[in-house]
Structure 1
């Protein structure tokens, strides 16, 4: 016969009373149910005043200072936080590294799942993180299209644990806009690139960009913002680029459109998203007899591999590592009731929208003097 919710609550209360305090993952294992079910039970019982929730654990009323019991040799203070990222290589490798380092510094464990940019599978992967014991989540959904936040994002607002969005923004006025988030300010990144090229004497630079990721969409929006802020008008609409591997013909069209604009005197500079496309475009232009930076100044966006090009590319560098670190620190504060929380136990402070500013790393491709590279100092004998 299936156990009723009331019977499960009684068993849960008995376990906590006997131990003083315990973690959700331990209670789930003891009760034979998922951590999500236990979290919902705990929320109900805590609202009734029958349990206390503190520091990511559950305690018997009056025993909040008792550390949660664990297995032999386990660290009772260890938090488990889950992270969902669209990939673990280009761009997000550094975001993940920043989150992992922040978690380790706080004595927490980070567990990771990858969506491979399949937003329809994000909810299931997040549920897997919760089932694995995650007490809070860092979520970078695998969105690719402009409508994905609405079509594939509502589930995030209903998660039963503290959640921080990273490098993703909810639609203003919708549920996700009320969540904590930490993002790169891509509008600022585009602005500093455009301003730098103008300072070198170029007219309004063209934008060459993809449209198949949230970063690409944000760069396109940032270009419009930059032109408005600086009182400029582009001589041509943005040139849509695509992966040279996935669509060779589409990539060639983008290169030819840029070359035509340069030959017609409509552009002497371009901002290209992303690094890989920028490197391939510069290589293809060289094959067509066009030189960078002599004929065309180029700034790439992302700064993942821009410095490794034949002609090192000036690039906008989003603060990827810091995005991961700030997001993990914010989530851990929420879980432990630190500065992100309110002054009293169980109270929540205001949600945070944290925007971190990209930097411009100047190299050869824009025609300006490169930033000096620090040299190693050798001690004299």
Structure 2
């Protein structure tokens, strides 16, 4: 069911409490029409409100607890006490995002609760629940794994928690009503297109994209690389390399380099940085020169500048992303009923020593 005007959980809770104070009881059928949300959503709301001691559920609706309405503020919350941040890595990409979150949180007197998961974790809800129950999180910035069977349940849990939340570098729709979740993302498709245009400007005509498997960013890069290459008339191929930490990486990367020679490729875009640096080292060991024989652009710019040569790279604005995510939380608190904001940030192409006009 598509309900673009449906209020979020916090404002629904206030509306239900106002109706209870006025009428003493509420019916789900009536609330469905008044609030414009599904029966399933309202049942979840009432279940959570009963757990919080605000209502007692009865058949078809809810009533006030014995003794009358509990203390309940009708005014929206305007500050964050502790923001829970859940990201898939504590050592790569995300520390810079966290820096931006911490800057904003410190300025507003909020604590940051950091938890790292992994792309292998199937269900992140227990981690989020503990952050609320044991650590006092009252807002969330989350980068969930969107490739598991529980992905929709995680977003649903965030929605049903009634707490403000923002997705970082992720997009999702609410499972119940298909309304977009609030999010801040980098325009990775644009970043890939920028790389393609740079290579074309240098005179390259046969190029390649090298990515790793199971990366949400890789999918967005591919979505921008293909039309970006087409726009400037590049002949482009795509390759998937084994994870750099696996035993298969060396053989996988060598096979790709052999294919690049066969296809007369003179430039590549590689995601992420670590794989780009490793492929450059392997190319140099095989007698190729960078950028003489092969120009290389890395995607992420986390460690690309440390290469020899320093790698030209697409730089996502990670710290700005963290700041923007916290600001979205504040905006949601200030106006709980506003439309979902989805902020798209523009990456930067950092020019260094690994790209040059082709020799042939």
1:86 aligned partner: 88
Write the distance in 1 (CA, Å) between the matches of 2:122 and 2:148: 14
SS at match of 2:338: coil
Q: Provide the aligned C-alpha RMSD in A.
A: 3.0
* 1:122 aligned partner: 124
SS at match of 2:301: coil
Q: Deviations over 1:327-346 (max 9, x none)?
A: 011112323x1xxx1xxxxx
The structure-2 alpha-carbon separation of the partners of 1:317 and 1:235, relative to structure 1 and needing over 3 Å to count, comes to closer
Corresponding residue to 1:272 among 270, 293, 312: 270
Aligned to 1:28: none
- The two structures have a TM-score, normalised by structure 2, of 0.74
1:287 and 2:285 correspond:
yes
Tell me the CA shift for residue 249 of structure 1. 2.7
Once residues 205 and 265 of structure 1 are traced to their aligned partners in structure 2, the CA distance between those partners, rounded to angstroms, is: 9
Which residue does the alignment assign to 1:249?
248
The 1:328/1:190 distance shift into structure 2, 3 A limit, reads same
Alignment TM-score, normalising by the size of structure 1: 0.71
> After the TM superposition, which residues 107-256 of structure 1 pair with which residues of structure 2 at under 5 Å, given as runs?
107-131=109-133, 132-143=135-146, 145=147, 149-150=151-152, 153-170=155-172, 178-228=180-230, 230=231, 232=233, 234-236=235-237, 238-246=238-246, 248-256=247-255
Contact 1:149 1:170 in 2 (8 A): no
Which whole-Å CA distance do the structure 1 matches of 2:174 and 2:220 have between them?
15
Q: Which runs of 5+ in 1 are unaligned?
A: 1-8, 14-35, 58-76, 342-346, 369-381
**Which structure 2 segments of 5+ residues have no match?**
1-16, 22-47, 56-61
1:330 aligned residue:
328
Structure of higher RCO (CA pairs closer than 8 Å, 6+ residues apart): 2
* Cα gap change, 1:182 to 1:194, in 2 (>3 Å): same
Equivalent residue pairs, number = 300
Cα pair distance change 1:218/1:174, threshold 3 Å? farther
SS in 2 for 1:280: helix
Equivalent of 1:359 in 312, 325, 348: 348
Q: How far has the Cα of 1:239 moved from its partner?
A: 0.7
